[in-house]
Amino acid sequence: MIKRIFGFISIIVVLSLITGFLVVTYDIGGIVKSTFEKKASEFLKVDVNVREIKLDIFKGTFIASDVNINNPHGYTSPHFVEIRQLYTKFNPLSLFSENITINKVTIESPKMTIEFNLKNNNFNQIIKNLKVQTPEIPERNKDKLYKAKADRKAVILEHLEIKNLYLHTLAGVVEANLTLNSIHLKNIGKDNNKLLFEQVLLIVLEQIYKDALKANIKSPSINFDKTLNNLRGSLKDSVKSTEGKLRSLLQ
């Protein structure tokens, strides 16, 4: 009798584990997808859409497919970034600790469009949007330990690798296409600071922004200063022409 009860309990435990595995691996993807889109859109203040997300807590993997980050208002190109696949490997046990450890994030062949207008560019605007709602990142020499909010976990990003970043740059009628072979960022939030997710994201975006601008500056196919000056001149001419037409109509 005892053996039967023990066998019955064992079967229930095994079935529960299998069911839990299936739920965590597959069904939870829809919930994670909607949460991911909502939070990313709130942080960046632009629409973020994902076709599919697969989360496996047991293996510590997070895979997002066809991630599109839209442009802020006032820019002509529809998307700021298009990512075919974003692969994340994390430590499952860290979910139960103060710091969530992300071992590696790999992004392969993303397409990014940096568009300049007379006042700003879309990349810089998105960084500004994120900064507005991100707590100030402490300096190591002033704050040896930064305590995240009580209801938030800190994040440690050990390695980010972006492979073959296709960079399309627009400045008026001038365009340039570049490919950055690889970008590596390591050990963000691992030293003395405990950073929130949005702080880690801000550090990542600012570094990519610097790398992208450096690549464009070195590119012989585009001269931003000359292009922007030409745009300013064209705008002034357009304003004068419009003003002249209005005056002639009123006379």
Domain identity same for 192 and 248: no
pLDDT of residue 113: 93
Domain identity same for 85 and 173: yes
Domain boundaries, position 71: 2-220
Domain identity same for 204 and 242: no
pTM: 0.72
CA distance 95 to 217: 42
Nearest to 114 by CA among 40, 204, 218, 224: 224
Domain identity same for 146 and 228: no
Domain identity same for 199 and 229: no
Q: How far apart, in Å, do the first and last CA atoms of the chain sit?
A: 107
In order of 68, 70, 76, 115, 132, the CA distances from 161 in angstroms are 18, 22, 29, 24, 26
pLDDT of residue 251: 55
Domain identity same for 209 and 237: no
Domain identity same for 133 and 68: yes
- Positions of the chain with pLDDT under 50: 2-27, 141-148, 150
Q: How does pLDDT run across 208-242, given as a tens digit for each residue?
A: 998 888 876 665 555 555 555 655 665 566 556 55
CA distance 133 to 81: 21
Rounded to 5°, the CA angle 213-216-222 comes to: 140
Q: How does pLDDT run across 193-209, given as a tens digit for each residue?
A: 678 899 999 999 999 99
